[in-house]
Amino acid sequence: MTIQLGQTAPDFEQDSSEGRISFHEWLGNSWGVLFSHPKDYTPVCTTELAEVARLKPEWDKRGVKPIGLSVDTGERHAGWAADIKETQGQTLNFPVLADHDRKVSDLYGMVHPEADPSVTVRSVFIVDPNKKVRLILTYPPSTGRNFDEILRVIDSLQLTDAHKVATPVNWRDGEQVIIVPSLSDEEAHKRFPKGFKTLKPYLRMVDQPKLPHAGG
């Protein structure tokens, strides 16, 4: 199955390190990050899972639930979790799907036969509270993911959902943003009363509105 941006994330039921999970029900009204691992007891994944656990305050602040996946059983997950705590100093605090029958992996296209038919690639899916897929990333098994970038994308998505703006190249929270072309100058002046800078009719820069989770 090929999943595209804007589609509804396929629902599923699968075992996990925290019991049986029905994906849409588990997400509720939260954003979600579903990310896969080639298999348990692999070195790059060990560092990634620890980092996702370490970032719990950042996920919570943004209303995001992370969920991992590996094509191994729950019993192997438990042993791997102990290794992660021993080597990385971090206890897992989110579920890891035990996709031993590859039901979810196949549903989300996480197995690329020409890469290695026995393992999943490093897939990332960001899902919004409406269960729509908003980002898809695929890494080779040898390359660890940059979760700072995933947080940055979530900030951009939440900001641009709340305001009529887009984020420019390498944008970080607090930097100027772009007013979307569909907003007229008249509407832009009403929405951004402090003003904006027109570089070209299609390129108007404005100070960033506050992120939804920033409050105020």
How confident is the prediction along the chain (216 residues), in pLDDT tens digits per residue? 579 999 999 999 999 988 999 999 999 999 999 998 765 556 777 888 899 999 999 999 999 999 999 876 545 556 777 778 888 888 889 999 988 888 998 899 887 665 554 555 578 999 999 999 999 998 887 788 999 999 999 999 999 999 999 999 999 999 999 999 999 999 999 999 999 999 999 999 999 999 888 754
For tokens 């009204």, name the residue: 29
Q: What is the pTM of this model?
A: 0.90
Query: What CA–CA distance (Å, rounded) separates 99 from 16?
Result: 8
- Residues involved in catalysis: 45
User: Residue 92's pLDDT is what?
Assistant: 87
User: Residue 115's pLDDT is what?
Assistant: 52
* CATH no. of 163-210: 3.30.1020.10
Distances (CA, A) of 27 to 13, 30, 118, 131: 12, 5, 28, 8
Query: What CA–CA distance (Å, rounded) separates 76 from 83?
Result: 11
Angle at 179 between CA 175 and CA 183, to 5 degrees: 165
Distances (CA, A) of 10 to 2, 7, 112: 11, 9, 18
User: Residue 216's pLDDT is what?
Assistant: 45
User: Residue 73's pLDDT is what?
Assistant: 53
User: Residue 212's pLDDT is what?
Assistant: 85
Q: Where are the domains of the chain?
A: 13-144, 163-210
Pairing mode, if any, of strands 96-98 and 64-70? parallel
Task: Fold for 13-144, please state it.
Answer: Glutaredoxin (3.40.30)
